[in-house]
Chains A and B, each alone.
Chain A
Amino acid sequence: MRDRLAERESGFSLLEMTVSLALGGVVLAGAVQMYVQGVQATWITTQRAELQQDFRAASNIITKDLGLAGAGLGNGAAIALPSNVTPVYGCSGTGGSQTTATCYIISTANPTGAVAYPTQAGAAYVYGLLPGYNDGPTLTGSSGPTDAITTVYTDSNFYLDCYTAEMTSTTTVTFTLPGATSANCTAPGGNAGAQAVGNSANGLTPGDLVLFTFGLNNVVGEVTTAPTGTGLTSFVANDVLKMNQGAAVANSLASMYVAPSNSVTGYATRLFVITYYIDNSTSTPRLMQQVDGHTPVPVAENVVYMKFTYDLFNDATNLPAVGCTNPGAASDGCSGASAGLLPNQITKINIQNMAMNSTLLGSQFGQGNGYQRMDLQTAVCARNLTYVNNYPN
């Protein structure tokens, strides 16, 4: 009996068991601790990587677009707009009606979200760059509004300039390719390189702005109906951006249509009016990009703050005006000779602060601050504005 019992006796002794359990416990505790830290580290690293991606997306797109401000707008980078009603930017809508428009650049001071173009002696102007000082929303708990910024340039990928634009009524323009490539045509290979005016990928669509050149006149119209097969495109009044105004209004597209010959020909390019602003209506504040009369698209997440200053240059005095917060306004915030300077004389855009924030999952990370952040602080030369303002040597 004892022998049989002894034969089955093959386990550890109590001492061995205790020691191994204790050791195992210590090792396991360490391993668990490491695992927890590993998970936290992974989370933090993932979040930081995401922040960096957002940062890259935001900084790349915004610096590229700001550098293009004013490209193709011609000398002065300022185009007079019809001003019976002041045209606006920052809105989209369907059906070509102001009443159905949705506007996005919402701030405490401007809850409608439609931003009027700046006026100069009673006339509205579109400049190559439109500073949006305090036009953005105030984020929760923050004591000041954010900035928006609008860059304006012509589309160099869609070769609308190869077409002859002929007004067939006060509200319609027909785009036809001339027999021989026009001198204005920028398409590689001339007419053959020009896309169809109603091309679904990059042709004209309702909401697009078109810059027309009729002789010495530059006028802007908003497409309200996409081109038909013959290139007939409508620019009827009551559009969401208030660009298409009556024939009696100076600087309107309709005013170009002159009786009795009842037609006028010229050429056109698509105009991009691109506004960047912060949208805090969703849980994560995002940097949004809104083009012409189209619906905005998000560019980067976690952008919680955006402020710009501008440097201008006074050609008359040869002196710079730096650190302006709101060029062209009565209170422009500039230091230096800024009297009479307008937004089309902006020479450098300083991105004072574009901040990315991402909140950590509560205090479990023991970091006190509970968030990670990145700041973008850089400057962009407004090449296409300075180029036309000053041509030395």
Chain B
Amino acid sequence: MATPIIRSEKRRGRKATEQGFSLLEVVISMAVLTVGMVSLLGVFGLAMASTQNSQQNMIAKQLANEQYESVVTARNTSQMNWDQINNVGSTFCSSGASPCGIFLTGYQPMYNAGADGIFGTADDAASGEETLQDPGPDGIFNTADDTYIPLTNYKRQIAISPLYDGSGNLIPGLRTVTITIQYQTTQQKTLQTYIVNSFISEFQ
């Protein structure tokens, strides 16, 4: 072992070529790196969450289309007359008594279509909520462990409004249909909406 004096001299002598980091520097840099890495982990989580969200968004799209298609179906079969293709309480009734319309206003739970086969009407609640069949832990459908997941996370709103031409005159044979699906993302617990805007004509 060198004596302290010699060592200190050596240290001074080595100073010019000493290139490494001190322990303190290493510890600090590691701490900085860790903070960086941890924030990167957050990005991972965000990426996973948005993949999940896009899946929910697709489901919302299916649910919105389902609603619109059932309005078109009802129009095509003339199961409903033109006055009935309105929100409940609507005063835009072309022939019958006012108010007309059978589509419930506001956000409604994801009920089944009910006895009339049309989503968004008053008889839906009696038929219960729509469910997705989950194959359960074995991953195989129609086995004893299947579960049925209600779509409690989603809500649906249908708004039917009159349409006016450029001069402000009511177009009697055409209405706009706006279907909004509102859902809560599973990870971030934020409310998202998926909106379908379309038209419905009196004529097929």
Contact = CB atoms under 8 A, between A and B. Distances in A.
Q: Is B a genuine binding partner of A?
A: yes
Interface of A: 2-3, 6-7, 9-10, 16, 19-20, 23, 27, 30-31, 34, 37-38, 41, 44-45, 48-49, 52, 55-56, 59, 63, 139-144, 304-305, 311, 313, 318, 320, 322-323, 335-336, 347-348, 350, 353, 355, 357, 359, 368-371, 373-383, 386-387, 389-393
B65 A369 contact: no
Interface of B: 2, 6-7, 10, 14, 23, 26-27, 30, 33-34, 37, 41, 44, 47-48, 51-52, 54-55, 58-59, 62-63, 65-66, 69-70, 72-73, 76-79, 82, 113, 115-117, 119, 130, 132-135, 137-143, 202-204
Contacts of B116: 320, 322
9 contacts: A7-B10, A41-B47, A52-B54, A59-B58, A335-B115, A355-B141, A381-B70, A381-B73, A386-B77
Contacts of B66: 377-379
B62 A376 contact: yes
B77 A44 contact: no
A52 B52 CA distance: 10
In terms of DSSP, what is the predominant structure of the interface of chain B? Answer: helix
Given A322-B115, A322-B116, A322-B117, A393 B77 contact: no
Contact of A389 (B7, B44, B77, B135): B77
A48 B55 CA distance: 9
Given A23-B30, A142-B143, A374 B2 contact: no
B76 A381 contact: yes
In terms of DSSP, what is the predominant structure of the interface of chain A? Answer: mixed
Given A20-B26, A377-B62, A369 B41 contact: no
B143 A143 contact: yes
Contacts of A373: 134-135, 139
Given A30-B34, A45-B48, A375-B132, A348 B73 contact: yes
Contacts of B130: 377
A357 B78 CA distance: 39
Contacts of A389: 77
Contacts of B33: 27
A126 B146 CA distance: 36
A311 B116 CA distance: 9
Contacts of A386: 73, 76-77, 204
Given A304-B141, A377-B130, A63 B65 contact: yes
Contacts of B58: 52, 55-56, 59, 374
Nearest to B116: A320
A320 B77 contact: yes
Contacts of B7: 6
B140 A139 contact: yes
- Find the residue from B2, B58, B79 having the highest chain A CB count within 10 A: B79
A-B residue pairs, 3 tightest by C-beta: A386-B76, A392-B78, A6-B2
Given A30-B34, A139-B141, A390 B78 contact: yes
Contacts of A383: 72, 76
B55 A374 contact: yes
- Find the residue from B6, B48, B63, B78 having the highest chain A CB count within 10 A: B78
Contact of B69 (A6, A19, A380): A380
- Find the residue from B33, B34, B66 having the highest chain A CB count within 10 A: B66
Given A45-B51, A320-B117, A378 B139 contact: no
B69 to A, nearest CB: 4
Given A368-B137, A374-B55, A347 B76 contact: yes
B202 A393 contact: yes
A371 B139 CA distance: 7
Contact of A375 (B65, B133, B139, B142): B133
